[in-house]
């Protein structure tokens, strides 16, 4: 029995043998053998080891593996809004949007289906109903479509940037302005398959931020995106010398993260505003800070108060 999965966004543009090695955890030579033998292939187009993986590619695996363990369920994933057309979850950190090769943790889609939530069949296999995603290490609001009507309309709204996505983030240091915009193209970093960077050859990316609270050593900001590039907020803030607290991949100070009890970047998808796909009424959904981010914020406030009192 074969398994079909969408090509991961982080591997688009890579050689097929390199991508298969990343997806399976095998060596590149073993990945080449799997491709040559036909155990791994692309649907709908011929391929060999050197084929470049493209957006929209579907990868089919015929690899015989031991019986997989059932996917763990995110029992603590709250539902912030639900009706017959859409469900908005408050995704915890450590939960992926959907299943992918090599991921063994819980997913938003799997956890919703386990609860009996009906999800539309529209969408790529394994990604049904999903029109936008959050990284595993980012918590907050994520919308999933339950009806065909919702999938078509919300996919359009997200692709045309009509949905207002508001994030809260804590950046290292004292941001130089109360309100500003970062406009810088983002592309894949040469040093890593999974890192991105500001580069002249990247895709356009625009990030707006407003300061909510200053702590001297860090700044809490509200962020809105005009574009939705991979790791956009993390890359943009790192590019101006203020990486998100706890974001070691993009240059954050690990000592500060340890002092705040953080094991991931301080970033949360706080609000979603969109036109309801059926009623066309403007709909607002809000979240709250999860315990680890709130704890870090409390420590920052306490330290700032102590410094001010001195």
Active site residues: 135
Contact 72, 103 (CB under 8 A): no
CA gap 30, 23 in Å, rounded:
12
Placement of tokens 């994030």 in the chain: 167
Alpha helix (H) residue ranges in the chain: 16-24, 28-36, 108-114, 148-159, 232-239, 254-259, 291-309
CA 33 from chain centre, in angstroms, equals 32
State how beta strands 86-91 and 139-145 pair: antiparallel
In whole angstroms, give the CA distance from residue 284 to residue 275.
9
Q: Which of 306, 301, 289 is nearest to 215 (CA)?
A: 301
How far is the CA of 119 from the CAs of 110, 143, 172, in angstroms? 10, 11, 39
């Amino acid at each position: 029995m074969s398994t079909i999965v969408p090509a991961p966004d982080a591997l688009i543009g890579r050689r097929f043998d390199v991508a298969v090695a990343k997806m399976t955890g095998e060596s590149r030579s073993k990945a080449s053998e799997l491709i040559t033998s036909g155990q791994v292939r692309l649907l709908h187009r011929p391929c060999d080891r050197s084929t470049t993986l493209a957006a929209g590619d579907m990868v089919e695996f015929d690899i015989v593996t031991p019986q997989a363990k059932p996917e763990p369920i995110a029992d603590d994933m709250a539902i912030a809004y639900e009706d017959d057309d859409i469900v908005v979850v408050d995704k915890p950190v450590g939960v992926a949007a959907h299943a992918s090769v090599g991921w063994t943790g819980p997913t938003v889609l799997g956890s919703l289906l386990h609860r009996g939530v009906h999800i539309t069949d529209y969408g790529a296999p394994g990604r049904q109903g999903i029109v936008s995603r959050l990284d595993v290490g980012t918590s907050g609001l994520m919308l999933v479509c339950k009806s065909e009507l919702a999938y078509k309309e919300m996919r359009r709204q997200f692709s045309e940037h009509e949905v207002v996505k508001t994030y809260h983030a804590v950046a290292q240091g004292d941001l130089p302005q109360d309100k500003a915009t970062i406009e810088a193209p983002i592309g894949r970093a040469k040093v890593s398959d999974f890192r991105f960077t500001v580069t002249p050859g990247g895709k356009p990316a625009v990030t707006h931020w407003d300061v909510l609270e200053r702590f001297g050593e860090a700044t809490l900001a509200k962020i809105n995106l005009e574009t939705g590039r991979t790791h956009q907020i993390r890359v943009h803030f790192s590019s101006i010398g203020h990486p998100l607290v706890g974001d070691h991949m993009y240059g954050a100070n690990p000592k500060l993260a340890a002092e705040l009890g953080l094991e991931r970047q301080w970033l949360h998808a706080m609000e979603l505003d969109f036109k309801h796909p059926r009623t066309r009424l403007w709909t607002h959904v809000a979240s709250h800070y999860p315990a680890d981010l709130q704890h870090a914020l409390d420590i920052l406030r306490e330290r700032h108060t102590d410094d001010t009192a001195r």
